Chain A
């Protein structure tokens, strides 16, 4: 096929994505250098780095960066480790395998807002929640999850949502694992753990890279769960960058600072992406 046809076929995607990337980004860059508060319209003078200074010196800034990273890394670890274990567990046939699979992946279909509302109210509520009731039945003091462990609560919600995705991808990958290879290993005297450790895990290396990559894209932008459940609090304890910027923009109407923060988020995402894309890029067969 001719080069020109190839170009033609790719053009719509490339052009749209280019616009999608460049236009808002350059606007963000522009806004970040001017004074731009919706409460004081018309006073849009150039202010240089001031918005950045303002954003970085915000008391919420450091906690937000840390929370973003902690959230990202904990959820990645939880979902990948449990995902590998569970998908290996349900790989061999057993009674009701199909139903178990459906149950396991269901949380992925639940929208983040609902996810947060179920957990916040029906699970984690210190008085009426299921957890509280379990604690009480065991004779323990119920925990007020959202106030005492806000970030952990968010991590639980998000992991619950993304674990099924990891399971889905790993189950798909395991289906393609060579059974003859496993049989050969068994003939060589390998037990279940050996097979898991030396055959299954290496076989899953690329799917793991893929899961990490895709989850990272979404985890860096976690918003709805926090918005609906903790509202970023108490204090800044469960505020991540996305939520902090949202706060600036829509609650304090300071577009300039929000844009500076947005750029900061872009930079952070790019730092993470740089490593990730390189790792996954190596695994992409082009």
Chain B
């Protein structure tokens, strides 16, 4: 017979082992991509798959040469960080106003904003394409930044709104009694208090932009293409260049994956969407 303590330990062990198993399974494709990027093309398609091999860095060099990785990476960084920053600048005041001065219409406005996000991109692809073309925004980072900003604005406002909503109202009132103007109130009280929520919102927005594929594929060509579009050029069926493909993919994902790992705690704290009390 096991004692209660042993039973408990055993249970923890089993759950832990199970969780590890699933986590490793789900992570496997990423691991495999990473490993393959250090193989030669021949090793990459060997059956059975080779686990032990002499790693080579050649693929990365070839990718940089063939598709100018650094240029596309820069495009990704500029578009995702730029649009996130702009969306926050526009979204924070709106979320603040709705959270702290709600009217009867606030809820409707918020739901309307979310519903614009429901408009499928394909539905407006042609007009946006034509407008971009007419205003010279095709294959430009400016064009992508504008689209990304508008695309994520509703979700950003929603997240911020639910975060602000959870701030204790009395603290803001205390600030008002202390003589704080609306501007002081936002800058000296609301922002410092919601820094967690704002950074988690920013994180999510950056991730969504970095990984956005529809507009990137359709509105950019060689100049402004971010990494998502660069990778698509490796999807051509002819030839099996898995090692290079993996190297390109690893390069495309590594920045955001590492970024995501570092900010994981932050992200977990902020993703409540007001759904948790």
| Surface stretch bound by B, among A52-60, A126-134, A193-201 | A126-134
Q: Is the CB of B29 within 8 A of A277?
A: no
B59 at the binding interface (Cβ < 8 Å) = no
Instruction: Verify if A168 is at the interface (C-beta below 8 Å from B).
Output: yes
* Contact in complex: A89, B211 (CB < 8 Å): no
- List residues of A (57-110) whose CB comes within 8 Å of B's CBs: 86, 89-90, 92-97, 99-110
From B176, which residue of chain A is reached at the shortest CB distance? A1
Bound-state CA distance A90–B19 (Å) is: 7
B204-225 interface with A by 8 A CB criterion: 207, 210-211, 213-214, 217-218
| CB contact between A242 and one of B121, B131, B271, B277 (< 8 Å): that residue | B121
Chain B residues, CB < 8 A from A23: 127, 131
Tell me which of B109, B114, B234, B260 contacts A14 (CB under 8 A): B109
> Do B264 and A101 touch across chains, with their CB atoms under 8 A apart?
yes
Q: Does A255 sit within 8 A of B, measured CB to CB?
A: yes
A interface secondary structure, majority: helix
The dominant DSSP class at the B interface is: helix
Minimum Cβ distance to chain B for residue A34 (Å): 12
Cα distance A206–B98 when bound, in Å? 21
* B198 cross-chain contacts in A, Cβ below 8 A: none
Q: Which A residues are CB-close (under 8 A) to B46? A: 128
Say yes or no: A6-B97 contact (C-beta < 8 A), given A107-B26, A285-B165: yes
At the interface, yes or no: A21 with Cβ under 8 Å from chain B?
yes
* Interface assignment of B192: CB less than 8 Å from any CB of chain A: no
Please encode chain B, from 194 to 207, with 1 for each CB lying within 8 Å of some chain A CB and 0 for all others.
00000000000001
Number of interface residues, chain A, beta carbon within 8 A: 108
With A217-B118, A262-B124 known to touch, is A113 a contact of B102 (CB < 8 Å)?
A: no
The answer to whether residues A169 and B218 also contact, given A31-B126, A111-B252, A258-B126 and a CB cut-off of 8 A, is no
The reply to whether B242 and A284 form a contact with Cβ atoms under 8 Å apart is no
- Of A41-49, A170-178, A182-190, the stretch lying at the interface with chain B is A170-178
- The yes or no answer to A40 lying at the interface (CB within 8 A) is no
Q: Is the CB of A122 within 8 A of B33?
A: yes
Which chain A residues lie closer than 8 Å to B30 at the CB level? 106-107, 110, 118
Given contacts A17-B113, A109-B257, contact A172 B272 (CB under 8 A): yes
Q: Is the CB of A286 within 8 A of B106?
A: yes
Docked-complex contact A207 and B97, CB < 8 angstroms: no
* Cβ contacts under 8 Å, A173 to chain B: 272, 275-276
Are B126 and A20 within 8 A (Cβ)? Answer: no
Q: Which of B122, B211, B249 contacts A117 (CB 8 A)?
A: B249
Closest chain B residue, CB of each to CB of A203: B276
Decide yes or no whether B246 CB sits under 8 A from chain A: yes
Most B CB within 10 A of own CB, among A109, A210, A221: A109
- The number of residues on chain B lying at the interface, defined by a beta carbon within 8 Å of a beta carbon of chain A, is 103
Residue of B whose beta carbon sits closest to that of A281: B111
Query: Which residues of chain A are within 8 angstroms of B102 by Cβ–Cβ distance?
Result: 286
List of B residues within 8 angstroms of A136 by Cβ:
47
Q: In the complex, A86→B19 CA distance in Å?
A: 8
Q: Which of B36, B91, B228 contacts A112 (CB 8 A)?
A: B228
Residues of A within 8 A of B114 (CB): 213, 277
The closest CB in chain A to the CB of B27 belongs to A103
Selected contact of B128 from candidates A24, A101, A163, CB within 8 Å? A24
Task: Indicate whether B179 reaches chain A with its CB closer than 8 angstroms.
Answer: no
Contact B101 A6 (CB under 8 A): yes
* A155 in contact (CB, < 8 A): no
Within 8 A of B (CB), among A120-152: 120-123, 127-128, 130, 132-133, 136-137
| Beta-carbon nearest neighbor of B14 in chain A | A94
Assess the B125–A249 pair: CB atoms within 8 A.
yes
A39 within 8 A of B: no
Q: Which residues of A contact B229 (CB under 8 A)?
A: 113
* A-B complex: 9 closest residue pairs judged by Cβ atoms: A94-B16, A224-B213, A27-B127, A24-B124, A262-B123, A13-B94, A286-B107, A206-B275, A9-B93
Chain A residues with a Cβ under 8 A of chain B: 1, 3, 5-7, 9-10, 12-14, 16-17, 20-21, 23-25, 27-28, 31, 86, 89-90, 92-97, 99-114, 116-123, 127-128, 130, 132-133, 136-137, 160, 163-164, 168-169, 171-173, 175-176, 206-207, 209-210, 213-214, 217, 220-221, 223-224, 227-229, 241-242, 245-246, 249-250, 255, 258-259, 261-263, 265-266, 269-270, 272-273, 277, 281, 283-286
Given contacts A113-B213, A128-B47, could you give 15 more A-B pairs where the C-beta distance is less than 8 Å? Answer: A1-B101, A14-B109, A14-B113, A17-B150, A103-B23, A111-B256, A117-B249, A132-B47, A172-B272, A206-B275, A227-B217, A246-B218, A259-B126, A266-B123, A284-B107
